[in-house]
Each structure stands twice: as C-alpha cells, then as structure tokens.
Amino acid sequence: MLEDFKKFAMRGNALDLAVGVIIGAAFSKIVNSLVDDIIMPVIGAITPGGLDFSNYYIALSAKLANHPAYADAKKIGAAFGYGAFITAALNFLIIAFALFLMIRGINKLLAKKDEGPAAPPRNEVLLEEIRDILAKKDGLTA
C-alpha cells in the first residue's frame, strides 16, 4: 500500500497540482495585499468621502447602533459585510485576469505556426518529375 501511495504521489499530475496549490496560495497573498494596500486606498482617495469598502456593512443587530468598524461589529453582533465581499470579488477578478494573461502568454509561446502542408520529400518530387517526362515521351499527356 505504501508503494502504491508513493507511485501516486510522485506521478506528474499530483506533483503539478501540489506546486500549483502552493504557488496559488502565495499568489493569493500578493493579490490580497495589492487590493487591500494599493487599489482600495486609491479608490478611496478618488471617491468623495474617502470610500473604504472594508468597513461597509449593514447592521443586523440593534447592538450595532453606533456603527463601529466592521471587524468590531462582527464581534458585537450580526452584520452583513458587503464591503468585504466587494473586496473579495475584486481579488478574484484580479487573480482571474492575471491567470488569463499568464495562460494566454504560455499558449502563444507553445503555439506552432501553421505553415500549411509540409513539402513532400525530395525523392517523391523527383519520381513525379520522371513520371511526367516519361508520360510526355509516350504522348500520354496533352
């Protein structure tokens, strides 16, 4: 059983998947930082009133009447945090677009140029020429 597991774990697909998951987790942290630390502050500076999506929520509990920050509001009572969802959706779109660009670039690198049908081997060309010459000698062609 241990030998079967070793064969499974060392198979190319399983290793590729493991590498993909690890790189994906690291890439996710980079994208989260990009969104939280760079994109959202710029959006907040551009919009009137300094828009900060991370603290947008709808209070579902009377305990949240004084509108604390979303992180505190979650501890006090029920809150519908649509701002955190907007941030997560933006993270997803950035990751999806980055993966699209990466896969598109890889596909362009791997794509073979369509050069049409390959030229026939030289010996076939010579044989066809000989056939045509013999046909003309015998008067078979017009």
Summarised one tens digit per residue, pLDDT across range 106-139 is 888 877 655 556 778 888 888 999 998 988 887 7
**Alpha helices (runs of H) in the chain, residue ranges in sequence order:** 2-10, 12-33, 40-46, 70-76, 82-110, 122-138
What are the residue ranges spanned by the domains of the chain? 2-138
More confident residue, 61 or 105: 105
The CATH code of domain 2-138 reads 1.10.1200.120
Mean pLDDT of the chain: 77
The per-residue pLDDT for range 30-86, each reduced to its tens digit, is 877 887 788 777 877 787 766 667 777 777 777 666 767 777 777 777 777 788 788
Per-residue pLDDT at 27 exceeds 60: yes
Quick one: pLDDT at residue 12? 67
pLDDT band per the 50, 70, 90 thresholds, residue 16: confident
Cα R_g (the chain), whole angstroms: 32
**pLDDT value for 115:** 54
Express as a percent the part of the chain with pLDDT over 90.
4
Judge contact between 53 and 41, C-beta under 8 A.
Answer: no
Output the CA angle 50-56-57, nearest 5 degrees.
Answer: 160
